[in-house]
Structure formats: structure tokens, C-alpha cells
Structure 1
Amino acid sequence: MSDTPYKWRWVALFVILAAEVMDLLDSLVTNIAAPAIRSDIGGGESTIQWLGAAYTLAMAIGLITGGRLGDIFGRRRMYLIGAVGFTLGSIACGLAQEPGQLIAARAFQGLLGAVMLPQGLGILKEIFSEKEQATAFGMFGPVMGLSTVGGPILAGWLVDADLFGAGWRMIFLINIPLGLFAIAGGLAFLPEWKSARAVRLDLVGALLAAVGSALMIYPLVQGREHDWPAWAFGLIALSVAVFGFFGWYESRRSRTGGDPLVEPSLFAKRGFSGGMVLGLMFFSAMTGFWLTFSLYTQLGLHYSPFKAGLAGIPSSIGMVVAFVLSQGLQRFGRKVMHAGLIVMLLGVGGLIVTLQLAGTGVTPWELIPALAVTGFGMGLVMAPFFDTVLASVEPHETGSASGTLTSVQQLGAALGTAILGTVFFERIKTTDFIKAEQFTLGVEIAMLVVVFAAVFLLPRHARPQGETEAGPQDGEPVAAAATPSAPELTA
């Protein structure tokens, strides 16, 4: 980074924030709009799951190589390609006439989003001085909070308002002005940058990661509709084998002097490996919670999309409050995550009791206490997650570790949509919506218990960049955590 920060840096920040908003909104809106989409263009119950899973799975696959594409071809160039592609994908979603077209367009959005997002964050780290970076990256917190609270409400309102007769399609078409702003601003105000070191793209590794992920998610979503045939379990087993081969290939590539997609040394670290398990399970539980709660309120309680969006506000506000408070709790390290999981377990348990007591007449007001507690717990877990996991890696491994964790986050979201969505729809076959949602929340509790145990694998504390301590913690080497980066800002 030059000694004189780029003069248009604050304008560039808002351009990049527009891209972040597009991604944050599109990761949330289909949970609210899914029933209306299915009612309009048809499709089975798995269509509802694929609307979210196609986007997050494609983004998980793309993020593995998205940042490296900017190193090779230039961050500004790849940002613009991603922004144009994401906007076109949004238009394709809004014009889709049948489920297959919409799901394909969602996957295209996810892939191009994975090209766009890492470039903007990388540019910000180049154009702001170290003193200004805290302020610049601090802008992402309020944007995340407003998007988390406002996204579902906006989606519900757009579906109910039926603007220009577009109905649910407007949740995607609203990306057009945002996309045009991101593109025009990128052309006018983002500087070009690429790595001075020649970096080789690991296409084989990327392909293996993509195949392994798809082989895992597809049977989990589609197996239920085919009454769980043998091929579904065969594909899951094959997925495990592909990931095993992926690990071997990455180790071999590293030994022979290549640029591996993921640094093999990361998996020898208990903190990082435990963080991957924790992240996969936690983000699965969190995403599955939002999906099934939205389906329950609309299909079971017959809330309108707008009312369903309003019903989730307490959880979103609780999450934002936890993000703010967590800044003063950093000294407690992983204990904050344990506390957050206990709070979240209490909230989910409270929701089960609320549904039992109130029955089919439950109102959004009666849901407020349990949802607010659940959201607060979610925020306490999410806020320190990436810094704590990255504390166990060496400085030269931080880039690879950050990208891998972000991909795990997105893969977890796809997995949660597949697993908890499948559990919910399976229970509906044999019982009513209340019992189906309660059973699904019970599975959620089991997943959170696993996450609670996995937290013990993490280092006790995250350390800011450049700070060291007297000795390693929990048997892990002392390492510097990353400065705010993609994982922390897209959580």
C-alpha cells in the first residue's frame, strides 16, 4: 500500500458497500419469498430448499478461488466482472419462468458474487492506511445490521405489494439499481491492483472441492423426494472420498512447489480443524433455523410474506445488539462463544415451549422473547468466530485460512438448508406444522450441542495482528489473527 492513501477511498468504500448489500439481501430474501415463488412457478418442496442452497453452494465453491483471481488478473477487473455478472444473474432470476431456470440463475449469482466480494475487500485494505482501516471496515457492521433486520421485511413487503405486477420477482429486480451503482462506481473510482508475485490457479483443486460439495448437498435435498434410494447414500459416501482425495492432492501440490488452494498445514492445527467443524455445524444450524421458521410462519400459521418478515425482527435486533456488545467482551475469548451458544439454546428451547403453549394461534408478539434471545445468542457466537479460529494459524497461512473459513461458512449454509429443510418436510408428512417445527428445533438443539463441544478445540483467545503472548494456548502455536477480512464482514 502506498504511503499516501488513494484520494477517492471513501467513495470507493460506498461503492464496495453496495456490492456487499446485494449479497446480504440475496442471501436472505428467498427464505421469505420461497412459498410465493413455488406457488407461482411450481416445483416440489425441494425447490424451496434449492433457492437458498444453489446460491450458497455456488458461492462456497467460488470463494475458494475468487480472491486468487484478483491476485492474478487484477482486483478492479474481477470486481467489475463479478458485479456485471451478479446483476445479470439477478435479472435472470426475476425473469425465470420455471424452477430449473430460477435455480440455475441463483447458482450463477452465487458464483459471480464469489468473484466480486473478495476483490472489494482486498482493494479496501490497499487504499486505506492502517489507521483508517478500522473506521472503513467498521462501516460494514451497521450495513450488516440494517441488511439483517431490513432484508426479510423488504422481501415480504415487495412480495405483498406486487409492484408493477412483478410480485416476488421484484426481490431480484431491485438489484438492478444497486448493481448499476456498483458497476459505474467501480469504473469511476476503484483503482487497479494485482499481486506482484506470480500466482498459479489450482483448477484441479477447485474442481475437486466443487464436486465434493455438490455430491454432498444434492442427495440431501433430492433424496427425500425419491424416498431415500441407495444412490443418495452412495453419493454422500462418494463425497467423502472426493474430499479425502482433495486433501491428498493439496498436500502433493504443496510438496512439489505449487500454489495449493488450501494450505495443507492448516489441517494439522487443532484450532483450525475444530473451527471448520464448528463453522460447518453452526452456520448449518443458523441458516436452517431461518428457513424453517419462515416456512412455518407462512405455511403453518398462514402469515403473509410481509408479516413473516416482521415476525423475525426480534431475532435480527438481538443479533445486532450482540455484535455491538461483543466489542467489549473480547478479553473473554472463546468463553463468549460458549455463552452465546447457551443463550441460543435457551432461546430455541423457549421457542419450542412457546409453540406448545400458544398452538396455532401464536402471534408475532408471543414469539418476541424466544426469538430475541435466540438472535442475541447467534450474534455472540458469530462476532468472535473468525478471529478466534484464525488465532491458531501462522501469519503466512492467514489468507488461505480466511478464504477456507468463508467457504465453509457458505457450505454450512447450503448444508443447513438441505438438512433442516429436509427434516421439516419429512415431519410434515406424518404430523402437523407445529410438531414438525418443534421436532426440527430439537434437531437444531442437537447440532448446537455439537458446536458447543467443538468450541473447546479453539484457542482460548484471539489476538490482534502483530500481538504475541508468552506462550502457546491449548497446545497451539502463537499466531497473529487477520485484520478484518471477508469472513468477518460477510458473516
Structure 2
Amino acid sequence: MSTPTAEPRRWLMLPVVLAATFLYGFDLNIVNVALPSLQHELHAGQEALELVVGGYSFSYAAALVIGGRLGDLLGYRRMFLLGMAAFVLASLLCGLAQSPAQLVAARVLQGLTATGMVPQVLALITATFPGDERPRALSWFGVVGGLAGVLGQILGGLLLSADVFGLGWRIVFLLNLPVGAIVLCFALRLLPTARPGRRPGLDPLGAVALSGSLALALLPLIFGRGQGWPLWTLLSLIAAVPALLGALLWERRLAARGGTPLLDLTLFRGRGFRLGLGVNVAFMASFTSSIFVLSLLLQSGLGLSARQAGLAFGPFAILGMTGPLVGRRLVARIGARPVMLLGCAVDAVAFVLLGGALHVLGGGISVPWLIVGLGLLGFGNTLVLPALIGTTLGGVRQEQAGMASGTLNTTQQFAGTAGLAAIGIVFFSVLGDRTGRVAFAGAAESVVWVELVLVVAMAALIAALTRPIAPAPAPTNAEPTPATADTAG
């Protein structure tokens, strides 16, 4: 496979585009710390608080594939710039909100604007970095992705405690303005005009069908538990299945007629892409739910403040920065699959340690036990993630980079939401109406063993990955474009 001419300023570009990944993950998590302030100062009720959190993730997940296709259509640079500018504007609207309804609307808009910039990150990395450098670039992607979630809690607690400029909760949104402005200035100078050779159509019917089917599945998962799982949540989940099948049939029919579907089903012919998505599902379900449950245990169970709980994630962040850097060197020596299996082994040790400590000590468990487990999880997760992304996208053709990135991001977001909902059911079912350290420790222990099962499933899928990963075959109506890399190792 031939390799396109490398972009000379690609390493200067990398931190600029990774800022989009950080901003999205940071804003997804920092708002959790601000919820008590929103309830007190903005008089937001429980439903409004759920919408502030869930509305952002829902609109982001529902429109991600469209964001990836728009990058393929308009160019990754242009779409990144438009998405970042819109995200900054939406953040300003969040910070200026005067009522819960205004904040919810601004958060939904913020999630939508994130779909303009985030899918272009992996697309730009895929399009501009040659194959031998892409694992290193993706290792930094793993560092930033892991840090965004943890620093959202740590910095969120510190900012609210400091009450910067007397802004209270508003600072968590207004902070995006100077950061976004700096990113835009550098992006204008450094981002290449990378785009695929063909300009695909938008496929508006496919966009509505796919986004609608995802909405039918995501809405009950995000809001169902808080409302006691009313009948509409079950009906929505049932309706999501035929809606998705109908959308996929339309995409297949459009491709057979020589059109350009929003979701190119030839992506799934590649074994590496299919299995990679499966591993991503298990990974994100475990990652999102474990952080959620451990955060609840630290604050509601052990009585730590938001700032103390955030700082308890410090080892997770530090070792999370180390994991991708170590993993990159190991990938170069032994390949991606052994590195991912090693990361799964570290995660498994972490969950066995946490589960054993919770079982033996119960409500008497101390924070150091949890910090050790969190540190191991940070290292194991970030060993897996960069190599996993590289393996999943390694066989994707250049003209499919935006679409594949959007599909991967959508899968991760859906898996994280579904995992959080499913694990949340386990946690709150075991917890029941009880309170206190013993109750939360028992509920957390139940979840930890479920997380261990997810890690085992993830390792089994990784073991099934073949080497090398062959690119998905080109559709008959497309001009063949060589794949840009093979990072499977």
C-alpha cells in the first residue's frame, strides 16, 4: 500500500486537534461537579439536572455519524474550525443561562456542535500521519482522552471551591471561551486541508433514519432510570430495533444504486473494524460505568467532598498519562494485540483488588485501597485505548476516514451510555433505599465483579483479532484510494 505525502507540520497540528477531544470530555465530566451549585443557584430540579448531563451526551451521540460525513464532504479542516467556533458559542450560551430551560437547551446545542469538531480529530490523524508514526500520535490521543474525564472532576472541584471571579458554576462553561479562542488561532495556521479524493453526498434520509434510531435507543437509556422506567422507555427501546434495521437497509440500497450512503456498510467487511468496534463496546461500557460508580462510592458512600473525590482520581490521571507512552513503545516491539491484552490484564488485577478489598473490608474500606485500584485502571485503560483505536481504524481507506471516525465515536458513546445505564441498574438495585458506607460498599462490590466480566469479554475479542488487519474492500462505485496505515502491529 502506498503512503501519501506526510504533512510537514503534523506534530504541531496534533495538540491543536486533540484540544477538541479534551474539551468535549472535559465538559462531559466537569458539569457533574457543578450539579449541586446548579440546583441551589439556578433552582434546577432533578429532571432538569438529568437533562443538563444527558442532553449533552444524547445530542452528541445522535449526530456523530453526520459530523463525520460532513468532514468527508466539506473537508476536515473546515469542519473542525466550524465545529470549534460553534462549540465556543454554545459554551457562552451555557454560561449566560438564566433558567434551567435555557441551560438545557444550550447544553443540547453544545453537544451538537461537538459533533462538528470531534470526529475530525481521528480523521485528521488518519489522513496526515504515515503508518509508522500513527501509533505515537494515537498514544497522545489516549492520554488526552483519559485526562479529559478525570481532570473534569479535579479541576471542576477546584474551580468551584475557588469561586473564580465570583462566577460560581458559570466558570465551568465560560472557561471554554479563552481556550477555544486560542485553539482556533492555532488551527487556522496549522491544520492542513486534508480531504478525501471524492466528495460524497450527505444522504439526508440516511442521516434522519440513523440519528432517529439512535435517539430511540439513547433517550430511554439516558433518562429512563431517573423517571422510574415508564412505559415509553420500553416502547422506545423496542422501536429502535426495526428503525435501525430500516436505516441500514436504506443505506445498503442506496449504495447498490450507486449513491453515497451516510454509513458505508463496506466498513464492516473488514474483520479488524468489526472486532475493533466490539472491543470498543466492552471497553467504553466498563470505563464509563466504573468511573461513575467509584465516584459515587467516594462521595456518597465515604463522604468525601467533590474536591477530595476529584483529587482521589489523581493517580488515575498520572498513570493514565503514562500508559499510552509506555504502550506506544511496546506496540513498536511486540504489536498492538499483546499490548491490549496486557492492558486488559492490568484492568483485571485492578478489579480483583477492588472487589477483594470491598468484600473483606466492606464499609471499613479506606481511600488508599480505592486510589491503588484507580491508578491501575488508569494505566490499564490507556494501554488499551490508543492501540485499540489504531487497530480499529488501521484498515480504513483514506476517503472513509471521517465516516469511520464518526462511526467509532458513535459506537463508543452509545456503549458508554448503555453501559452506564445497565451497570447503574445493578448498582442501584443492590443499594436499594439504604445509605451509608456499608450499603455503598456492597453495591460497588457487585458492580466491580460485573466490570471484571466485561474485561474478560474484551480480552476474548482482542485475542480474536487477526494480524495483519486487511482493509475493507472498496465499494464498486468509488474510486480506489490506498489505505493510509496499518497500526495493528
TM-score bracket, normalised by the shorter chain, equals 0.7 to 0.9
Name the residue aligned to 1:216.
217
- Structure 2 Cα separation of the partners of residues 70 and 189 of structure 1: 17
Letter in 2 for 1:370: G
Alignment of 1:242-281 (within 5 A): 242-268=243-269, 271-281=272-282
Equivalent residue runs for 1:110-189 within 5 Å = 110-119=111-120, 122=123, 140=141, 143-144=144-145, 147=148, 150-189=151-190
Give the partner amino acid of 1:281: A
- TM-score (normalised: structure 1): 0.81
Are residues 1:233 and 2:237 paired?
A: no
Give 1:216's aligned amino acid.
A
2:409 maps to which of 406, 409, 412:
406
User: What amino acid maps onto 2:260 in structure 1?
Assistant: D
Are 1:37 and 2:41 counterparts? no
Tell me the SS of whatever aligns to 1:323. Answer: helix
One-letter amino acid of the structure 1 residue matched with residue 371 of structure 2: I
- Does structure 1 residue 66 correspond to structure 2 residue 95? no
Contact map agreement 2:428 2:443 (CA 8 A) in 1: no
Higher RCO (CA < 8 A, seq sep 6+): 2
Secondary structure of the corresponding residue to residue 201 of structure 2: coil
Could you say which residue in structure 1 is the equivalent of 2:367? 364
431, 441, 446: which one pairs with 1:442? 446
Q: Please point out which of 345, 354, 357 is paired with 2:357.
A: 354
Cα gap change, 1:293 to 1:169, in 2 (>3 Å):
farther
Alpha-carbon distance, 1:94 to partner: 2.2
Give the structure 1 partner of residue 206 of structure 2. Answer: 205
Contact 1:281–1:447 (CA<8 Å) still a contact in 2? no
Letter in 1 for 2:89: L
Q: 1:344 to 1:37 in 2, by over 3 A?
A: farther
Provide closer, same or farther for how the CA distance between residues 64 and 388 of structure 1 changes in structure 2, counting only shifts above 3 A.
same
Cα distance in 2 for residues equivalent to 1:45 and 1:252: 44
Change in CA separation of 1:134 and 1:368 when aligned onto 2, cut-off 3 Å:
closer
Structure 2 CA distance for partners of 1:234 and 1:34, relative to 1, 3 Å: same
**2:294 aligned with 1:290:** no
Normalised by the size of structure 2, how large is the TM-score?
0.82
Q: 1:52 Cα deviation (Å)?
A: 4.1
Q: 1:384 aligns with which of 365, 368, 387?
A: 387
CA 1:447–1:305: 2 relative to 1, 3 Å:
closer
Label 1:457 to 1:270 Cα distance change in 2 as closer, same or farther (>3 A): farther
User: How far is 1:67 from its partner?
Assistant: 3.0
Q: Where do 5+ consecutive residues of structure 1 fail to align?
A: 467-478, 485-491
CA deviation map 1:92-117 (0-9, x unaligned): 22233444433332232222122123
Aligned CA RMSD, in angstroms, stands at: 3.7
Letter matched to residue 169 of structure 2: W
Check 1:2–1:229 CA distance in 2 against 1; reply closer, same or farther (3 A cut).
Answer: closer
Unmatched runs of 5 consecutive residues or more in structure 2: 472-481
Q: Distance in 2 between matches of 1:40 and 1:273?
A: 47
- Alignment partner, residue 21 of structure 1: 22
1:288-327 alpha-carbon deviations (Å, 9 max, x no partner):
2212322332233332221111011222333333322222
| One of 416, 420, 436 as aligned partner of 2:419 | 416
Find the aligned partners of 2:5 and 2:485 in 1 and give their Cα distance: 21
Rate the CA distance shift 1:193–1:396 in 2: closer, same or farther, 3 A.
closer
Structure 1 counterpart of 2:171, one-letter code: M
Structure 1 distance, partners of 2:384, 2:121, is 26
The 1-side partners of 2:63 and 2:425 are apart by 25
After TM superposition, the structure 1 stretch with the greater mean CA deviation from structure 2, 131-140 or 110-119, is 131-140
Offset of residue 174 of structure 1: 0.9
1:257 is paired with a residue whose SS is: coil
Equivalent pairs counted in the alignment come to: 472
Quote the Cα distance in structure 2 between the aligned partners of 1:149 and 1:229: 33
SS at 1:430 equivalent: coil
Q: In the superposition, relative to structure 1, how do residues 143 and 404 fare at CA in structure 2: closer, same or farther (>3 Å)?
A: closer
In 2, Cα distance between the equivalents of 1:244 and 1:295?
A: 37
